[in-house]
């Protein structure tokens, strides 16, 4: 009998082959929603223990457990070969049974408890409005860059499907992600646990600083920390937000300076370091048009990283232009291991600032109103031009504090000549004005200047700093490493007050006193005179270390790490994946978005669940007649 049943079952299975095509839906069905081979049976109140045992015998079932005190709810192993559906039907039809059901499966909902998560629309877009006041206990954003269109969107759902993907994987530690950027606040409360460790005493911190060529890749800008936490903010720790990867190994590679600027040599050094130290994903939220098409060194570094097993994800750019027409580096290199990312807003429209390119930009991802970690506290010391200035002049003229009109508004200013805009500065003069600030030991200091006026071509307006309380224009300044002239020029602003800079003043903070002296110098040639200068802004922006700060920022720089995070997730989930596999999963697994059709190569937005569930077509099929 047993053999006959086996035979019939086998025949039934094989008959399917003959009857017709097997519906694709039968393959790869979702994990069963209930436990195979088990049912739960609730017997009627009047049944006895013996009755219930007899019922199980009659159905060929085996009692696995009694689930309530009265013994009427029983977990049953169904008879061999019986499906759960058939068993439920059979038990339900039994007059001794009140009801029968599958033993359903449930799982913990993978929604992290981090306070920022309800504002992270890229994770789950519920059409929430993104506000500039962060949820408690976060007290404020260090920077806010609100983006109005589609905030809130007309409807929800435009997101990365991370809530679903997190049911499958939250741990990306199998794939090191290098953030090649301005460094990372690697002591941040939401990043520290997810930083890479080299295991090499020569690399004591989680990365390297190629700007200053030292082992400390601390972020002195904010950009890199924001990017890093989008990829790998520690999830479900009750702090900050949650990255695409709740657990990660983030490598901090500093190639951009305090002002967020880097060069080819520094950037490729960072890429090479990342690839050499095992990065499987390299995030490049940087770029520009400068090196296209001749920056072959940059291109080769990305190609080499691919050969070493790394996918490189790069930002499309924030000029709102077509990269197919105006190429942008590195996105326009179109290498097989390079994914270029445009920014989408909360309604999955292309962000107004986002570059695009039907042949050069690969996918889109959320890039507006993105909350994430930041480098530290930011403070602005606004110069009021009232006190603290010292001056000198070789001709008895020089700088003076006064007031000028800017757009019709009386504005305090530093003036040379003191009668500006009336009169002329002296010829053959060396006029200096400087002020010493006590700024402590911040991470970074930058200077923002605005001025107007005319300086003759034979003359120079200089801006300089020097650590400590010293004249930054004193003879020999150039020989002192922390005494630097950051600006030296002439010109005519056309009657307008124009911004210049910003200038990186961080090296000014190297004096033990925590003091920095900043100054202006007007040097004129003999016989040369002109209208002179009114300095109306001379503000210092100070970034101080803080492991608990966040910011709300827009950009393709923010869209890029979402894709990098998904790439890391895919790579970690599929350890056998090649670079090409990861690229295929991220691109082909994306979600078609109308706004990206004709604007990107794929017309798709990255989708975490789509990338995870992507399957390559099998290869290498052979058939041999025997």
Partner 1 sequence: MRTRILKAALAIAMLGIAGCGGGGGGAPAPTIEAAPGPTPAPTPTPTRTVGLTWAPNRETAVNQPGGGYVVFVDGVAAATVPFGTGPLAPAETTAQLASGTHTVTVAAFSNLNGGTTSAQSAPVTVTVP
Q: Residue 500 contacts by C-beta under 8 Å, 6 or more apart in sequence?
A: 449, 450, 451, 487
Q: Is 325 in the site for partner 1 (CB under 8 A)?
A: no
Closer to partner 1 at the Cβ: 422 or 625? Answer: 625
Residue 142: which of 412, 380, 321, 322 has the closest Cα? 380
ω before 421 within 30° of 0 (cis)? yes
Q: Is 409 in the site for partner 1 (CB under 8 A)?
A: no
Out of 210, 348, 399, 573, the residue judged to bind partner 1 by CB under 8 A: 573
CB 572 within 8 A of CB 169: yes
Out of 17, 93, 136, 325, the residue judged to bind partner 1 by CB under 8 A: 17
Retrieve residue 252's tokens.
Answer: 């901090």
Q: Is 621 in the site for partner 1 (CB under 8 A)?
A: yes
Closer to partner 1 at the Cβ: 15 or 50? Answer: 15
Helix (H, G, I), strand (E, B) or coil at 89: helix
CB 168 within 8 A of CB 611: no
Q: Is 168 in the site for partner 1 (CB under 8 A)?
A: yes
Largest separation between any pair of C-alpha atoms in the chain: 119
CB 257 within 8 A of CB 211: yes
The string over 573-590, giving b where at least 16 C-beta atoms fall within 10 Å of a residue's C-beta and e elsewhere, is bbeebebebbbbbbbebb
CB 229 within 8 A of CB 237: no
In whole angstroms, give the CA distance from residue 500 to residue 196: 38
- Interface region with partner 1, contact rule CB under 8 A, candidates 65-73, 375-383, 519-527, 574-582: 574-582
Closer to partner 1 at the Cβ: 67 or 588? Answer: 588
Q: Residue 213 contacts by C-beta under 8 Å, 6 or more apart in sequence?
A: none
Q: Residue 303 contacts by C-beta under 8 Å, 6 or more apart in sequence?
A: 335, 337
Closer to partner 1 at the Cβ: 17 or 409? Answer: 17
In whole angstroms, give the CA distance from residue 398 to residue 524: 11
Out of 300, 352, 377, 578, the residue judged to bind partner 1 by CB under 8 A: 578
Closer to partner 1 at the Cβ: 241 or 306? Answer: 306
Closer to partner 1 at the Cβ: 481 or 624? Answer: 624
Q: Is 109 in the site for partner 1 (CB under 8 A)?
A: no
Out of 15, 148, 325, 475, the residue judged to bind partner 1 by CB under 8 A: 15
Out of 2, 28, 199, 598, the residue judged to bind partner 1 by CB under 8 A: 28
Which residues, numbered 467-496, are part of the site for partner 1 (CB under 8 A)?
none
Return the H-helix or E-strand segment holding 282: strand 279-284
In whole angstroms, give the CA distance from residue 608 to residue 594: 18
Retrieve residue 372's tokens.
Answer: 């994430």
Q: Is 616 in the site for partner 1 (CB under 8 A)?
A: yes
Q: Is 613 in the site for partner 1 (CB under 8 A)?
A: yes
- Interface region with partner 1, contact rule CB under 8 A, candidates 449-457, 543-551, 569-577, 600-608: 569-577
Using CB under 8 A as the binding criterion, the count of chain residues that bind partner 1 stands at 45
Helix (H, G, I), strand (E, B) or coil at 183: coil
Q: CB of 234: closest distance to partner 1 in angstroms? A: 24
Closer to partner 1 at the Cβ: 512 or 621? Answer: 621
Q: Is 2 in the site for partner 1 (CB under 8 A)?
A: no
Q: CB of 585: closest distance to partner 1 in angstroms? A: 9
* Site residues for partner 1 per CB under 8 A: 6-8, 10-11, 14-15, 17-18, 20-31, 168, 573-578, 581, 609, 612-626
């Amino acid at each position: 009998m047993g053999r006959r049943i086996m035979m019939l079952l086998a025949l039934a299975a094989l008959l399917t082959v003959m009857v017709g095509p097997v519906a694709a839906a039968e393959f790869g069905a979702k994990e069963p929603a209930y436990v195979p081979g088990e049912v739960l049976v609730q017997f009627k109140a009047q049944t006895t223990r013996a009755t219930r045992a007899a019922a199980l015998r009659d159905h060929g079932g085996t009692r696995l457990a009694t689930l309530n005190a009265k013994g009427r709810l029983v977990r049953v192993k169904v008879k061999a070969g019986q499906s759960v559906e058939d068993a439920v039907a059979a038990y339900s039809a039994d007059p001794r049974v009140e009801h029968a059901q599958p033993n359903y499966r449930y799982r913990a909902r993978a929604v992290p408890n981090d306070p920022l998560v309800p504002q992270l629309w890229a994770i789950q877009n519920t059409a929430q409005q993104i506000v500039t006041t962060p949820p408690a206990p976060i007290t404020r954003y260090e920077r806010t860059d609100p983006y109005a269109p589609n905030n809130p969107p007309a409807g929800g759902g435009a997101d990365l499907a991370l809530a679903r993907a997190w049911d499958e994987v939250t741990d990306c530690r199998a794939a090191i992600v290098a953030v090649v950027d301005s460094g990372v606040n690697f002591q941040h409360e939401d990043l520290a646990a997810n930083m890479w460790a080299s295991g090499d005493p020569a690399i004591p911190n989680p990365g390297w600083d190629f700007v200053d060529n030292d082992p400390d890749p601390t972020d002195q800008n904010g950009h890199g920390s924001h990017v890093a936490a989008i990829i790998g903010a520690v999830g479900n720790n009750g702090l900050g937000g949650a990255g695409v990867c709740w657990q990660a190994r983030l490598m901090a590679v500093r190639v951009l300076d305090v002002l967020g600027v880097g060069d080819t040599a520094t950037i490729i050094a960072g890429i090479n370091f990342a690839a050499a130290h095992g990065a499987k994903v390299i995030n490049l939220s940087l770029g520009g048009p400068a090196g296209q098409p001749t920056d072959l060194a940059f291109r080769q570094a990305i190609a080499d990283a691919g050969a070493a097993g790394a996918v490189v994800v790069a930002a499309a750019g924030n000029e709102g232009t077509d990269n197919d027409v105006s190429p942008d580096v590195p996105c326009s290199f179109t290498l097989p291991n390079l994914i270029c990312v445009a920014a989408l807003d909360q309604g999955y429209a292309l962000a107004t600032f986002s570059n695009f390119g039907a042949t050069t930009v690969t996918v889109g991802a959320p890039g507006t109103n993105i909350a994430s970690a930041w480098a530290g506290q930011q403070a602005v010391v606004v110069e009021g031009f009232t006190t603290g200035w010292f001056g000198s002049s070789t001709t008895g003229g020089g700088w003076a504090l006064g007031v000028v009109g800017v757009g019709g508004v009386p504005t305090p200013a530093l003036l040379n000549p003191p009668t500006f805009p009336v009169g002329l500065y002296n010829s053959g003069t060396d006029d200096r004005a400087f002020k010493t600030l006590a700024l402590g030991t911040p991470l970074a200091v930058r200077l923002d200047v605005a001025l107007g006026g005319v300086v003759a071509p034979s003359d120079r307006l200089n801006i300089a700093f020097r650590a400590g309380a010293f004249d930054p224009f004193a003879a020999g300044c150039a020989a002192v490493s922390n005494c630097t002239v950051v600006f030296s020029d002439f010109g005519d602003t056309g009657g307008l007050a124009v911004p210049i800079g910003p200038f990186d003043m961080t090296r000014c903070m190297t004096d033990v006193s925590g003091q920095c002296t900043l100054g202006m110098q007007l040097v004129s040639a003999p016989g040369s005179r002109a209208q002179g200068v009114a300095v109306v802004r001379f503000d210092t922006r100070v970034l101080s270390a803080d492991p608990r700060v966040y910011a709300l920022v827009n950009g393709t720089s923010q869209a890029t790490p979402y894709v990098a995070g998904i790439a890391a997730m895919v790579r970690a989930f599929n350890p056998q994946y090649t670079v090409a596999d990861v690229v295929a999963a991220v691109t082909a697994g994306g979600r078609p978005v109308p706004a990206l059709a004709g604007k990107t190569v794929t017309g798709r937005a990255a989708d975490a669940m789509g990338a995870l569930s992507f399957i390559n077509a099998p290869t290498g099929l052979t058939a041999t007649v025997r």
